[in-house]
Amino acid sequence: MKKILYNANIVTEDQVVHGSLVLDGELIQEVIPSSQSEETVSGENTVDLKGAFILPGLIDIHSDMIEMLVQPRSTAFMEIGAALESAERELAACGITTIFHSIAMYRSGSWDAKECRKADCVRKLAEEIKKIQNRPHMIHNRFHLRYELDNLECYDQALKMMEEGCVNLLSVMDHRPGQGQYKDLNIYRRHLPADQRSISEAEFQKLLEIERTKPMVEGEAYDRLLKEAARLSIPVASHDDDTPEKIRKNKADGILISEFPITMETAKEAAQAGLYAMAGAPNILLGKSHSGNLRAEDAIREGCISILCSDYYPQALLRAVFYLKNKGILTLPAACRLVSLNPAKAVGISEDTGSITPGKRADFLVISEEQERPYLKSVFTSGNYVMKNEYYRKGRDRQWESF
C-alpha cells in the first residue's frame, strides 16, 4: 500500500528537498520536490508533515548500552530476550533504526570481565540477536563482536560464532597499557578497579609488566581470524589505533574501519588511506574524549571522521547531528551521512538502507527543530510506523501536540 508524506524537508544524501516522500510497502518509492508536484496531495494514506524534517534512520555500529540492560548491577543478571526488547524501545526513541549491539568478549580473570562479557553470555546474546528478526521487533538488530586479542581461550568460539552467522561486525582490540587507548599510563591507572588504583608504584610496575608480556592472538592465528571474516563477508574494525603505522598495517590486512583513532595524525592517515574513521557522538557533545584522547569535533573539521557511533550513550547521535549543523561545521546532509550512509557503507548494507533513496528500505525519522534542539516525532522501520512521540506545550489549552 502506498503512503505519501508531504510538505516535508527531506534530507537526501547531498541536499534537503522540500516535497513529498512516497512509500510503497517496506520501500521508498519516490522523492518528489514541491516544484514538480502540481496536484494537491490528499487522501486516506497521506500525511501533512507541516515542514518537518525527514532524516534517514540512524545506523549505530558501535553501542554497548545492551550491557547495562543485561547486567544492570554486578549481581543482577536479566533475561537476555527481555533486555533486547527494552533496548529496542530505548534505541527507537533515540532515532536508531539499525543497531549493532557491541559486546566485548574478555578472557577469564581479566579485570574488566563483567559477567555479561564472558564467553557464555556473549554467545547467548549473539544467538538471541540472530533470532529476534523472526519475531515481532521494532528496529533492525545486528551483532558486533568486540574481540580482545588477549582472549586466547575464546578464539575457537569466536570463529564458530562467525561461521554460524551470529557475527555481523568484528572488531579486534588490544587494551594493553602503553599503547592504544591507554598510551597514557595515568589514564590506564584511573580505569583500574577501585581496589587496585591505590597500589604502590612497584606493584603498578609489576602489573604493567604482566599486562605487556601476556600471550596474544597474533601471527598465523591473527591472520586466520581476519581471513575467516573476509571469507564470510564480515567487515572488520580495528580499535584505538594510535599510530599511522597501525593504520597502514590494518589497511594491508583488509581492515576498513578504524574505531576511535587516538591522535589527529592517526585519523588523518585513516582518511587518506580510505578507511572509515569512527568517533563517538558523546565526544561531540562533551567537547572531549572521556579517555583524554582525540577531540572528535576537531577531527571532523579536518575532514578525518566519516562515522559517528553512540559508543555508550545512544541519546547522543541525533543531538550530535544537529549540533554539527547548527554550529556550521557540516551541512545537515553531511552530518546525517556520518550516522546513516557512511556506517551503512562500512558494514556493507548501503544497498538496502542508509539514505532516503528510491528502492531502499523505508527506515526514516520525522524530526522538528526548535531552538536548535531536535524533537523526534516518529520513527519508521521498513515502512512501518513503530514509534510516535507527542510533546506537551504549556499554554495551548493543555492539549498534546502531535509532532
Closest CA to 91 of 139, 43, 142: 139
Binned at pLDDT 50, 70 and 90, residue 173 comes out as: very high
Q: Is the dihedral of CA 323, 327, 330, 333 positive or negative?
A: positive
Q: For residue 189, what pLDDT is reported? A: 84
* Domain range enclosing 202: 184-213
State the cell numbers at 235: 567487515
Binned at pLDDT 50, 70 and 90, residue 210 comes out as: confident
State the cell numbers at 28: 521508498
Which residues, including other chains, have CB under 8 Å from residue 12's CB and lie 6 or more apart? 31, 333, 355, 356, 357
3-state secondary structure the chain: CEEEEEEEEEECCCCEEEEEEEEECCEEEEEEEHHHCCCCCCCCCEEECCCCEEEECEEEEEECCHHHHHCCECCECCCHHHHHHHHHHHHHCCCEEEEEEEEEECCCCCCCCCHHHCHHHHHHHHHHHHHHCCCCCCCEEEEEEEEECCCHHHHHHHHHHHHCCCCCEEEEECCCCCCHHHCCHHHHHHHCCHHHCCCCHHHHHHHHHHHHHCCCCCHHHHHHHHHHHHHCCCCEEEECCCCHHHHHHHHHCCCCEEECCCCHHHHHHHHHCCCEEEEEHHHHHHCCCCCCCCCHHHHHHCCCCCEEECECCCCHHHHHHHHHHHCCCCCHHHHHHCCCHHHHHHCCCCCCCCCCCCCCECCEEEEEEECCEEEEEEEEECCEEEEECEEECCCCCCCEEEC
Residue 351 included in any domain: no
Residue 352 included in any domain: no
Q: For residue 383, what pLDDT is reported? A: 96
Q: For residue 399, what pLDDT is reported? A: 47
Domain count, the chain: 3
Q: For residue 119, what pLDDT is reported? A: 87
**Residue that is last in its domain, among 346, 370, 385:** 346
Alpha-carbon radius of gyration of the chain: 22
Question: Are 140 and 229 part of one and the same domain?
Answer: yes
- Mean pLDDT, all residues of the chain: 92
* Bridge partners, 387 (sequence order): 379
State the cell numbers at 251: 589497511
Instruction: Say which residue the cell 497521506 belongs to.
Output: 46
Question: Are 111 and 95 part of one and the same domain?
Answer: yes
Residue 22 included in any domain: yes
Per-residue pLDDT for 42 more than 50?
A: yes
Question: Are 202 and 238 part of one and the same domain?
Answer: no
**For a pLDDT cut of 70, what percent of the chain falls above it?**
94
Other C-beta atoms lying within 10 Å of the C-beta of residue 303? 10
Q: For residue 398, what pLDDT is reported? A: 47
Q: What CA–CA distances, in Å, run from 389 to 101, 141, 333, 370, 371?
A: 24, 22, 24, 15, 18
**Residue that is last in its domain, among 310, 325, 346:** 346
Which residues, including other chains, have CB under 8 Å from residue 97's CB and lie 6 or more apart? 57, 58, 59, 139, 140, 353, 363, 364, 365, 379, 380, 381
Residue 9 included in any domain: yes
Question: Are 206 and 267 part of one and the same domain?
Answer: no
What is the distance between the alpha carbons of residues 394 and 371, in angstroms, rounded to a whole number?
Answer: 16
Other C-beta atoms lying within 10 Å of the C-beta of residue 302? 12
Binned at pLDDT 50, 70 and 90, residue 187 comes out as: confident
Question: Are 262 and 391 part of one and the same domain?
Answer: no
Helix-helix angle 244-252:264-272, to 10 degrees = 30
Mean of the pLDDT values across residues 170-186? 83
Q: For residue 400, what pLDDT is reported? A: 45
Residue 37's CATH number = 2.30.40.10
Per-residue pLDDT for 70 more than 50?
A: yes
* Bridge partners, 379 (sequence order): 365, 387
State the cell numbers at 145: 563482536
Residue 321 included in any domain: yes
Q: pTM for this structure?
A: 0.93
Question: Are 241 and 312 part of one and the same domain?
Answer: yes
Q: What CA–CA distances, in Å, run from 89 to 61, 129, 137, 171, 362?
A: 17, 15, 9, 26, 18
Question: Are 130 and 33 part of one and the same domain?
Answer: no
Q: What CA–CA distances, in Å, run from 279 to 290, 313, 400?
A: 12, 13, 37
Q: For residue 402, what pLDDT is reported? A: 47
Per-residue pLDDT for 109 more than 70?
A: no
Question: Are 108 and 248 part of one and the same domain?
Answer: yes
Question: Are 177 and 310 part of one and the same domain?
Answer: yes
Question: Are 222 and 370 part of one and the same domain?
Answer: no
Q: What is the β-pairing status of strands 276-280 and 257-259? A: parallel
Instruction: Say which residue the cell 591507572 belongs to.
Output: 189
Question: Are 113 and 12 part of one and the same domain?
Answer: no
Per-residue pLDDT for 38 more than 80?
A: no
Residue 70 included in any domain: yes
